[in-house]
Every structure is written in structure tokens, then in C-alpha cells.
Structure 1
């Protein structure tokens, strides 16, 4: 089954992720962005709607100047330090999180479960994993201390009932368990996929459909999810990416490093 019906006719799944994610960011926020779609989304938001948005990299760059056609290949790319507001050590960047100076964390993951826990460590048995993944980096700190936006492809193998390993905590076992275990700040805010936008029910903290992209049905999104999604009777539909959004996005990444 195709993920997005006729919705991907004029743009790629990565472009959908970047555009829809960018719309969630607000003027004046500080966003801790990973490389790839998170960086594209943050830069797109900054260019179109939020000139006062501050982007923060794990490598220590605060307020990088991202030029069209010169996207950094990693968050440690030193070319981004030119004209940046500040360059800190990784330790000092994480201290900004602990002091509450970062509003939004923005990254992806290999697996996510019904409570928003992310896995980027391994797939399978920990003693003999099928696949080893990049690991946490600063992912645990980011998800523990900020309101999180996650952007990822919507596939049943990624949206699982229980992640193989909790690299970055969401709402743990749901309800009040995140707070009960000492994570008093932040939590999962939105999950953006090529099929829709998802939030979390207030009390249970289970994943809930906020909106579906045009051409995507409830049956499609549920078939591509390994657990039952909550939803209202009347589900909203997102506005398709505009020509302006797509034009700016493609100028940012003309070689299609991230929007292939």
C-alpha cells in the first residue's frame, strides 16, 4: 500500500515532512535541530515566517547562517560557524537545555511507539541486534528537556507498539509516568509523517491523529501503524504545500541531499 495516495504527485515524502514540520515552529523560539529534514524545516520556517527563530546545533553552533545550496552535512560542520551568534562546546550546549533556554527539540528516529518513545540505538535483541543504529548523541537530553517534534516516514516497521530500546524518552508508559520518573519538563509535542500530523492524548499520552494529509485515509494510516491510533470522529486535513514553500525548500537543497 502506498503511503500517501496521490498526495506525492508533485513533491517527495521528504518535502512533505519538511514543509509540514516548518509550519509548527513559531517566531522567537529556540529550536535544537538535527541535520536533514529537521534542519530543512527550521531553515524554511526562518526564511518564510519566523526571522527571529534561533537554530541550535549539537556541535555547539548557536544561530548558524544557513545559505541556500550550502546545507551542512552534519551538526558538527564548522562552515556554519561563520556569522553564527555563538560557538560553544557540546557540554555548554547541553547546559542550555538544562537551564530551560531551548523551546523545541527536533529530530527523527528509526522507531517510535504509542507513547512517543524513540529508538535510534538498535533493532532486535540487544545481545544480537539485527541492525545497529547511530545511537543517542544528544537525543536523550533533547527529548528529556524540551517539547519535541519528530519527523519520520510513516511505516508499520517504524510505528511499533513498543520500541526495542528507549533512546529518547517520550511519555514512557503513558499517563504520568514521565513526570513520575523525574522528567518534569517537556515531552512529545508532534509527530510529523508523510501521512499526517500526530499529537498525544492529554491524560493517557497515547498517540492521536491531529490531521491527515490530503488523499490519505484513516484506514491507510492505521494499516501503516503497529498500534491503534486515537482519533476524533471529525479528522482535520492539512493544507498542501504551497508553491512558495516548495520553491524555497528546493533552493535550500538544490542537490537534493535531504529531499530526494
Structure 2
């Protein structure tokens, strides 16, 4: 009989005014810039992109894998899929999936949002299977357009911070990060893009410019360096002067809750 791994320290023990998912949405939104084109999926990525539009990045363009550019999303009517045809109503443009991938290849997409079951120190993501390839313990959804996005754009990953997810080496590289570190990504034929930030309910991680290994760039309120180390399956450096993020504002939380009143993604 297997049991769920126990987290060493609760992420939000000192700040119960918002959920871990709301924290992921707010912190991800703050990383987006006005004028960017963002490849977003449903759930937290879409919420974060819309939140950025409504606060500091009104010129942000959202792109769906299904071919919708600039979807119009009404409060309380979040799409269940990037192929949801209701997203086309009042959208800026509708193109084919092929055209979307061509936009990636031509360099028109600035940022991609992604999640995964596993991530390693170099930002490689696994969303294919857990265990041995010939006899996996768990089968996962697979890549979809994830490999294309991770290969051609800067990436923001949003996920819960757990030791079983932050592993020394992913069981399978579904979406490449910096592969083996250093210049291995460029040598593999991927000179553009790469992992930019990993946002979790414990902190925000970046990647060293030389080694391309993950490092902590900010902790969330109430989270200690030891807590983040205890919930990571590899050595994750935490600088002594690491800053602490600002708590989500009332305005940011109000926008998220208006968008998702049923708490389908922010509970």
C-alpha cells in the first residue's frame, strides 16, 4: 500500500487569505510584460494572462493552441479546453493549428506557459509517464504542443512544489528545458527559448546564466529556505539575500475570483 508523500512544511500556513492556486496565478501574472504574445493553456496559465491584461499589461496577446488569437473570455465562463469553440466569439483572429505552430517557428511567440508531473534541475519537464518506459507506473497525457512551445519560446512553469515533482532527473523529457545544463540546449539544435521561471506555491525559481541549473530567486511570505529545500529532490541553491515576494493584493485576488467564481481552478 502506498501513501501520499508528506510535505515537510505547509506553503501558506502564515497567509491563509488566499489559496495556493491563487498565489500561482498572481505570481505568474506579474512575470508577464505588456506587448508580449503568450501561449497559454486553460486553468492557471489563462487566469494569469488575463490578470496581467487587466492590471499592468493591457497590450498582452493571448494565443491558444487550438488557433485562437486574442480570445475573449467572459468572467465566470472560463473555457474547459484550448479547442473550445466558444473562445472564438469576439476573438481577434482564428487560424489553424498549423499556423499557430508556424508562429512559434517564426519567433512570434514570446512566452509559453506550461506544467508537468516532473521537473528537474535544468527545467526539463515530464508529462508522458512515471517509471520505466516499457512498464510505466503511471501514464500521463503526453506532449500535445508542449514540446513545440518549450523548444521555441521562453517558458514559465507553474506547479505545486513537492519532492516527487522536483526530481534529480525526469523519467522522460517531454518538453526540453536546458537538457544537461551549460550549452547543451543549443548543441541539441535549440538556440532560442528555454526555461525562464518556475513558479510554485513556495517560491520563484530561475536558472543560472552559465550552468543553467535551477536556483531560487524569491520566496513567498512565510516560506523558509529550509522548507523549499526539504520539498525539492535535488540541491536547490537559496541565496542568503533572497527577496520575499509581495502578497497578492486585494485587486489581484478580486479579478481572479471574478473570473473563476466557481473556483474550478483557484480552489
Q: What does residue 157 of structure 2 align with?
A: 150
What's the C-alpha RMSD, in Å, of the aligned pairs?
0.8
Between 191-200 and 82-91, the greater mean CA deviation after superposition: 82-91
Q: Check whether the contact 2:15–2:222 (CA below 8 A) recurs between aligned residues.
A: no
Partner secondary structure for residue 109 of structure 1: coil
Q: Does 1:125 align with 2:132?
A: yes
The residue aligned with 1:214 is 221
Separation in 1, partners of 2:214, 2:33: 23
Task: Select the residue among 71, 77, 89 that pairs with 1:70.
Answer: 77
- Work out whether 1:169 is the aligned partner of 2:191: no
Q: Does 1:89 align with 2:96?
A: yes
Match of 1:195 in 2: 202
Give the match for residue 228 of structure 1. Answer: 235
Contact 1:30 1:56 in 2 (8 A): yes
Tell me if structure 1 keeps the 8 A contact 2:70–2:93: yes
**Unaligned 5+ residue runs, structure 1?**
none
Residue 226 of structure 1 deviates from its aligned partner by 0.1
Query: Which of 78, 86, 98 matches 1:79?
Result: 86
Report the equivalent of 1:241.
248
Taking structure 1 as the reference length, the TM-score comes to: 0.98
Tell me if structure 1 keeps the 8 A contact 2:225–2:238: no
2:15·2:221 contact (CA, 8 Å) conserved in 1?
no
Show CA shifts across 1:43-84 (max 9, x none).
111111111100000011000011111100011011010111
- SS at structure 2 position matched to 1:190: strand
Distance (Å, rounded) in 2 between the aligned partners of 1:140 and 1:8:
36
Q: Secondary structure at the match of 2:206?
A: strand
TM-score scaled by length of structure 2: 0.96
Distance change in 2, residues 1:7/1:109 (3 Å) = farther
Secondary structure of 2:31 counterpart = coil
CA-CA distance at 1:5 after TM superposition: 4.3
CA distance in 1 between counterparts of 2:243 and 2:103 reads 36
Find the counterpart in structure 2 of residue 42 from structure 1.
49
Output the CA distance in 2 between the equivalents of 1:2 and 1:233: 20
Could you give the per-residue CA deviations for residues 207-251 of structure 1, whole angstroms, max 9, x where no partner exists?
000000010000000000000012322111000000110011000
What SS class does the counterpart of residue 14 from structure 1 fall into?
helix
CA distance in 2, matches of 1:3, 1:95: 43
SS of match in other structure, 1:237: coil
Whether the 8 Å CA contact 2:78–2:260 is kept in 1: the answer is yes
Aligned equivalents of 2:138 and 2:53: distance in 1? 36
Q: Are positions 1:140 and 2:147 aligned together?
A: yes
Mapping for residues 11-30 of structure 1, pairs under 5 Å: 11-30=18-37
